[in-house]
């Protein structure tokens, strides 16, 4: 089947839903009608899977009515009606029903697709405490002898150890458990995940109590995280008996511990809650965490008990189906203001603790740092200031040097001096131009003869001279050279190798991406963690265009060099870095996610209105900049990353240290990534 780039299923997403119908007690015909109506709405939205509440065809609160033949026969008629309707749906439906099997009654989940019953899963754990008396009516599925049953004229699979795999979306393999099953110390879904289930489904009828909803969220979220799976939880709501209990219709969808969607509770109308889950992300996380595989081996006996039912859904891959999922434009920077402040606070203190530890163990009390008046060196200096406070050392132990070269602008030089004054460090200026001119003369470089030749040699002479000064100053004063280059620059190879900004004694910024650096500087300015004397200089630095300032500018005072015009916008390249480094996604999927994030003008804006980027990028721009990233990341820059200084890892987004997250050959090619990049329909 042909695949459409703009279809979420092409990129291994799956649209799923949890349903909360309003039921009638002991009225299977009505409940089947409600189930069909909601299922049709889910199918119209392109869902591949929809789950309904526990015992929903009869209503959970039937109690001893479950032993009435008329009710049980009515449930079969309701199932038959759903079965007939399902021939029109390209979707799997999971409904709850009481079923008779070999003279016993089971609380079951029935999986329906393509007009057929694909399997029946009985509940394993029957609560018989508090307000629950399920053992009075039902038998545990754990002790069922039958592995197949006759149901509505079909011979179908039966048992708690069933997995259901969608043939045309093989990463969609799901398992069903029922309510109490997830409350026990080792839920059946734990073993199901080890057996390959990427999606876990729970049909529930959990009554409403004060504080119970939050506990259920924690329970389901942690099970999702522990199993590295998506978890769909749907619970009984309107229409259930209020004789002794109340019902809220809670429904949640988690992915690896992250809440994707949550139903509104206590509603009077039937509802559907959708989420698009990333199946490839789950698969890759399991592959990356080799302890998952060790768990499979450890529990091989339990894993081996599962049986897999295969069926196709004939999902629509050839038509556009947009992703209904918030893809943050800035994956390293939370959009929520409170979480963003928490992130900045934690990253800053990780950097501070790491540098403080290095100074303590080295026995050194001074640091040496170059200050350019730009973002990276600004933040590194702010970290140094807090370290000195932490170690109860004077900030004058920070030996800060600004070293103007041939292209240093008046603005950045002024900012460098203002910043050093703000921090209260020992500030000095060293003009590197005389020593650079001498080296250019030694090299017989045309610039030494008055020619305007601004090549890579011209640039790197300046970068190298600055670093050379810093190391010799550290020798002279007994200090530690602090590196300032960030994660984004390492990814793109945007640093001068060896004796250049590539090298230092310790680099506090090496695993912090550029987009996060800017928010860290703003956070320091607003929080006053280094003092509230005058934070305006920090805001001025944030407003300065990013440039290496190695080539003389134009007459208008604008920098000749604009970093992002060469290597692409950092906001796009950090997005690419996150999904390539953290998940190893194909370029086409990265582009699909980026297109989803950037196509909407309002998507990704901070809710508090601050720190907003108003940029938009069409698919052609996304593909072009992704190509720049892929070639630089895989082909040209690894040799620089293979020998970087020590630096603290700050986030799960990864680092590029060869001693940590990233080990790669320096002479690799980018061919396979560039070839796959061609799958992006940039002509559209």
What residues are designated binding site for deamido-NAD(+)? 460, 489, 494-497, 640
Report the distance separating Cα 258 and Cα 264, nearest Å.
Answer: 18
Report the distance separating Cα 220 and Cα 215, nearest Å.
Answer: 9
Instruction: Say which residues have a Cβ less than 8 Å from residue 598's Cβ, sequence separation at least 6.
Output: 329, 572, 604, 615, 616, 617, 622
Q: Between β-strands 398-402 and 199-204, what pairing exists: parallel, antiparallel or unpaired?
A: unpaired
Report the distance separating Cα 390 and Cα 312, nearest Å.
Answer: 61
The single residue of 62, 179, 384, 425 carrying the catalytic annotation is 179
Q: What is the CA radius of gyration of the chain?
A: 31
Report the distance separating Cα 472 and Cα 399, nearest Å.
Answer: 12
Length of the chain: 684
Facing residues of 20 across strands? Answer: 271
Which residues are annotated as part of the binding site for L-glutamine?
A: 129, 206, 212
Say whether 660 sits in a helix, a strand or coil: coil
414 is catalytic: no
Q: Is 197 within 8 Å of 279 (Cβ atoms)?
A: no
DSSP string, 435-446: HHHHHHHHTT-G
DSSP string, 529-583: TT-SS--HHHHHHHTSPP----S---TTS--S--HHHHH--HHHHHHHHHHHHHH
The single residue of 23, 62, 123, 436 carrying the catalytic annotation is 123
Q: Is 630 within 8 Å of 541 (Cβ atoms)?
A: no
Q: How open is the CA angle 255-260-265, to the nearest 5 degrees?
A: 125
The single residue of 54, 240, 255, 571 carrying the catalytic annotation is 54
- How many other CB atoms are there within 10 angstroms of residue 416's CB atom? 28
Give the HSE-up count for residue 540: Cα atoms under 13 Å, Cβ half-sphere: 14
384 is catalytic: no
Q: Give pairs for 240-249: CB < 8 Å, separation 24+.
A: 240/23, 240/25, 240/59, 240/60, 240/61, 240/205, 241/25, 241/59, 241/61, 243/61, 244/131, 245/61, 245/131, 245/207, 245/208, 246/207, 246/208, 247/205, 247/207, 247/208, 248/208, 248/213, 249/20, 249/53
392 is catalytic: no
Which residues are annotated as part of the binding site?
A: 129, 206, 212, 370-377, 460, 484, 489, 494-497, 640
Facing residues of 154 across strands? Answer: 151
Which residues are annotated as part of the binding site for ATP?
A: 370-377, 484
Nearest to 285 by CA among 255, 252, 325, 326: 255
Q: Looking at 306-455, list the stretches that DSSP marks H as alpha helix, in order from N- to C-terminal side.
A: 337-362, 375-390, 410-423, 433-442
**What 8-state DSSP symbol labels residue 208?**
-
Nearest to 313 by CA among 36, 46, 31: 46
User: What amino acid positions are annotated as catalytic residues?
Assistant: 54, 123, 179
């Amino acid at each position: 089947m042909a695949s459409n780039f703009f279809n979420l299923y092409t990129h291994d997403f799956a649209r799923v839903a949890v349903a909360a119908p309003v039921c009638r007690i002991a009225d299977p015909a009505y409940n089947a009608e409600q189930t069909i109506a909601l299922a049709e709405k889910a199918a119209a939205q392109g869902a591949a899977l929809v789950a309904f509440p526990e015992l929903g065809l009869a209503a959970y609160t039937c109690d001893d009515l479950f032993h009435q033949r008329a009710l049980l026969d009515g449930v079969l008629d309701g199932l038959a009606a759903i079965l007939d309707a399902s021939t029109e749906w390209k979707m799997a439906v999971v409904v709850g029903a009481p079923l008779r099997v070999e003279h016993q009654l089971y609380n079951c989940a029935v999986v329906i697709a393509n007009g057929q019953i694909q399997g029946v899963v009985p509940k394993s754990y029957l609560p018989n405490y508090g307000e629950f008396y399920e053992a009075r009516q039902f038998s545990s599925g754990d002790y069922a002898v039958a592995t197949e049953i006759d149901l509505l004229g079909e011979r179908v699979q039966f048992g708690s150890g069933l997995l259901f795999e969608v043939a045309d979306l093989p990463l969609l393999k799901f398992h069903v458990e029922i309510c109490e099953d997830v409350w026990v110390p080792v839920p059946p879904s734990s073993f199901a995940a080890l057996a390959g289930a990427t999606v876990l489904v729970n049909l529930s009828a959990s009554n409403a109590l004060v504080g119970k909803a939050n506990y259920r969220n924690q329970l389901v979220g942690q099970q999702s995280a522990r199993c590295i799976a998506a978890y769909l939880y749907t619970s009984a709501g309107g229409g259930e008996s209020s004789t002794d209990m109340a019902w809220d219709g809670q429904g949640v969808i988690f992915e690896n511990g992250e809440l994707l969607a949550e139903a509104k509770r206590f509603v009077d109308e039937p509802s559907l809650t959708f989420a698009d889950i990333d199946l490839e992300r789950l698969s890759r996380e399991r592959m990356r965490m080799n302890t998952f595989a060790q768990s499979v081996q450890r529990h091989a006996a339990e894993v081996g008990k599962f049986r897999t039912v295969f069926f196709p859904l004939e999902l629509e891959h050839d038509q556009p189906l947009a992703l209904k999922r918030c893809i943050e434009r800035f994956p390293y920077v939370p959009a929520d203001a409170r979480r963003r402040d928490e992130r900045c606070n934690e990253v800053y203190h990780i950097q501070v603790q790491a540098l403080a530890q290095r100074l303590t163990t080295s026995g050194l009390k001074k640091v040496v740092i170059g200050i350019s008046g730009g973002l990276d060196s600004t933040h590194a200096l702010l970290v140094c200031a807090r370290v000195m406070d932490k170690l109860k050392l004077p900030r004058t132990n920070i030996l800060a040097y600004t070293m103007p070269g041939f292209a240093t602008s008046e603005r950045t030089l002024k900012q460098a001096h203002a910043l050093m004054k703000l921090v209260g460090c020992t500030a000095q200026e060293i003009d590197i131009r005389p020593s650079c001119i001498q080296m250019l003369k030694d090299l017989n470089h045309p610039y030494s003869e008055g020619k305007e030749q601004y090549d890579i040699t011209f640039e790197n002479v300046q970068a190298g001279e600055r670093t050379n000064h810093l190391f010799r100053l550290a020798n002279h004063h007994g200090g530690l050279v602090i590196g300032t280059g960030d994660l984004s620059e390492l990814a793109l190879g945007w640093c001068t190798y060896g004796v250049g900004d590539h090298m230092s004694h310790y680099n506090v910024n090496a695993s912090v991406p550029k987009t996060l650096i800017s928010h860290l500087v703003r956070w320091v300015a607003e929080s006053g963690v280094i003092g509230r004397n005058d934070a305006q200089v920090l805001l001025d630095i944030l407003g300065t265009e990013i440039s290496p300032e190695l080539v003389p500018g134009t007459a208008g005072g604008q920098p000749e060099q604009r970093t992002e015009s060469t290597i692409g916008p950092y906001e796009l390249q950090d997005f690419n870095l996150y999904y390539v480094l953290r998940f190893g996604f194909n370029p086409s999927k990265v582009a699909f996610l980026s297109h989803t994030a950037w196509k909407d003008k309002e998507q990704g804006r901070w809710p508090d209105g601050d720190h907003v980027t108003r940029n938009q990028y069409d698919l052609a721009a996304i593909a072009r900049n992704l190509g720049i990233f892929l070639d630089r990341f895989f082909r040209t820059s690894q040799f620089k990353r293979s020998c970087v200084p020590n630096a603290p890892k700050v986030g799960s987004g990864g680092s590029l240290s060869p001693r940590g997250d990233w080990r790669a050959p320096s002479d690799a090619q980018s061919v396979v990534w560039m070839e796959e990049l061609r799958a992006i329909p940039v002509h559209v």
